[in-house]
């Protein structure tokens, strides 16, 4: 079972992502956070395989700013930047630490993308 941490400050979106992953038995949501600071601590403890990360969050750090910290505490985690900011994609395209970018309106793609990323992980 692949472990997932969800970093999202909108409670409805957070609930939506958690529901999507909970409906697939191959995934287990091990942590929910509203801020990057909180999520880094969760990731340090749980070392998730997937981190679904929003950019604008409740704390001081943005999601993109926190990426190096996530990679430090959970180097094997695949990071999906899941945001409503379409223009962010161009800014993060050259950041290898971010494994995938997905717009929030494309929720149907979230699960296949997570599976694809974790399958890649198991092949290494």
* Binding region for another protein (CB under 8 A): 9-10, 12-13, 15-16, 19-20, 23, 56-60, 84-87, 103-105, 107-108
* Closest approach of another protein to the CB of residue 20, in Å: 7
Closer of 18 and 121 to another protein (Cβ)? 18
Taking the C-alpha atoms of residue 29 and residue 1, their distance in angstroms, rounded to an integer, is 10
* Closest approach of another protein to the CB of residue 12, in Å: 5
Q: Residue by residue, what is the 3-state secondary structure of 66-92?
A: HHHHHHHHCCCCEEEEEECCCCHHHHH
The DSSP 8-state label assigned to residue 109 in this structure reads G
Closer of 55 and 74 to another protein (Cβ)? 55
Closer of 12 and 94 to another protein (Cβ)? 12
């Amino acid at each position: 079972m692949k472990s997932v941490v969800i970093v999202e400050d909108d409670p409805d979106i957070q609930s939506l992502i958690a529901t999507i992953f909970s409906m697939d038995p191959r995934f287990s949501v091990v942590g929910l956070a509203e801020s990057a600071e909180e999520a880094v601590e969760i990731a340090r403890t749980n070392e998730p395989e997937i981190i679904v990360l929003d950019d604008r969050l409740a704390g001081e750090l943005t999601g993109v700013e926190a990426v190096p910290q996530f990679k430090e505490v959970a180097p094997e985690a695949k990071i999906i930047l899941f945001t409503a900011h379409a223009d962010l994609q161009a800014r993060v395209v050259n950041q290898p630490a971010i494994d995938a970018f997905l717009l929030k309106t494309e929720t149907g793609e979230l699960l296949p993308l997570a599976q694809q990323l974790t399958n890649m992980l198991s092949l290494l």
